[in-house]
Amino acid sequence: MASNITIDDIADALGVSKTTVSRAISGKGRISEATREKVRAYIEEHNYRPNIYARGLAQSRTYNIGVVLPGEYGVVDLPFFQECLAGMTRVTAPAGIDVMVTIMEDGDITNLQRIVEHHKVDGIILTRTMIEDRAAAYLQETGFPFVSIGTSDDPDRICIDQDNLGGCLELTEKLLGAGLHRLALIGGNESHVITRTRRRAFEKAHEKLGLQPDPDLIYMNVLDPARVDWAVRRIMDQQADCIVCMSDRLAGNILMRCSSLEIRIPEDIRIASYYDSSLLENAVPRVSSVGFNERQLGAEAARLLLRRVEGEPVESRILSNYRIYIRQSTQLAEDCRSS
C-alpha cells in the first residue's frame, strides 16, 4: 500500500531540498548519483508513490489535453463524439491548447496510462461514464486532473452532463399523456451509466402519472441485429402502443426491422427515441425524440478541465439544454387516418 508521505517529508528526512528530491524521482537535472540513490532507497523503503500531476508540473506544461473515446463506439455514435470534440476545440484552440484523442477498448486503460505517465497532456476528458470505471479510478488514484462527460455517484468526481433524466422523463410523460400507456423500452449496455439513467427516467415518468411500466415490455442489452429482431417480434406479439428506444442507433435499427417485417409506423406501432442526431434526419417517418446540444456539452467540459488544470475549484454540472420533438412516428391511429 502506498505511503502518505510527500516530497516535503522526504526532503526533510534526508536533509536535501525539494528540488533535489524531484530531480531524483524524475531522473532529470544535475544531482550526484549518490544523492539520487539515497532518495530512491528512501522512496522504496517507505513505498512512496509520486503524484503524477505534481511531477508533471515540475517538468512544465504540455498545452495538450487528452480526450478518451470508448473503443466500442461505431459509425452510428460518431455524431455525438464529433459534436463534443468540435465544442472542446472551440474552447481550447483560442487558449493555444491542442486536443489529443485516445481510445479505450473494453476497459483497457493502457493507452490512457501511457499518455498520463509520459506527461503527454495536462488533463483528461473521459467521454463516457461506466458503472465499473477503471479509467476514472486510475486518474483519481494518481491525482491527475480530469473531467467526465456523464454522471457518477462519486461525490469526489467532477462530471458534466446533459439533463438526460429530465429530457427522457419529459418525452415519456408526453407519450403517456397522449394515451400511449403500453410503452415498450429497448436499451443498450447496462454497464453504461447513461443506460441506467434513461431507464430510470422511463420508470419515473410512469410513477409520476400513477402508472406502472410492464416489466415484460422492457428489453435491455439489445446490442446486435438479431437481438433487435427478437425484441421487435415479441413487442408486436404483446400489443404495445409504442417502442421507446434509448438511442438513435437503436431507433434506426428498429425502423429497418419494422420495414422488413412490413410493420407500419405509426399505424401498427409507434416509435420514439431518447436521443436525436443527424442519423435520424432522413428517417421515414420522422422520429419523435429528445434533442441535446452536444457542442455546448463539449465546450463546457473543456472549460471545466482547463480550470482544474489551473488549480481552480470546480463543481459538477448538469446542462438543461434539451428539446422535445414530437413527430410523425408517434401519431395516434386516428391522426394518421385523418392526415
Domain positions in the chain are 7-50, 64-161+294-320, 164-292+324-338
Q: Which single residue is written with the C-alpha cell 536535501? A: 16
320 C-beta neighbours (distance < 10 Å), count: 8
134 C-beta neighbours (distance < 10 Å), count: 13
pLDDT of residue 129: 85
pLDDT of residue 192: 87
The CATH number of domain 164-292+324-338, selected from 3.30.70.20, 3.40.50.300, 3.40.50.150, 3.40.50.2300: 3.40.50.2300
Running along the chain, 339 residues long, what does each successive block of 10 average in pLDDT? Answer: 69 86 67 83 77 55 92 62 93 92 88 92 92 90 93 90 96 96 95 92 97 96 92 96 94 93 95 90 92 94 93 92 94 49
pLDDT of residue 50: 60
**Alpha carbon separation from 253 to 256, 257, 282 (Å, rounded):** 5, 6, 14
Residue 93 main-chain phi, psi, to 5 deg? -60, -50
Q: Which phi-psi region, left, alpha or beta, contains residue 93 (left: φ > 0; alpha: ψ -120 to 50)?
A: alpha
User: Matching CATH topology for 64-161+294-320 and 164-292+324-338?
Assistant: yes
C-alpha span between 103 and 97 (Å, rounded): 20
Superfamily (CATH H level) for 64-161+294-320: Response regulator (3.40.50.2300)
136: nearest Cα among 118, 155, 151, 157:
157
Question: Which of the 8 DSSP states describes residue 243?
Answer: E
pLDDT of residue 23: 73
pLDDT of residue 164: 94
pTM of the model: 0.74
pLDDT of residue 338: 37
Kindly calculate the radius of gyration of the chain based on its CA atoms and give it in whole angstroms: 25
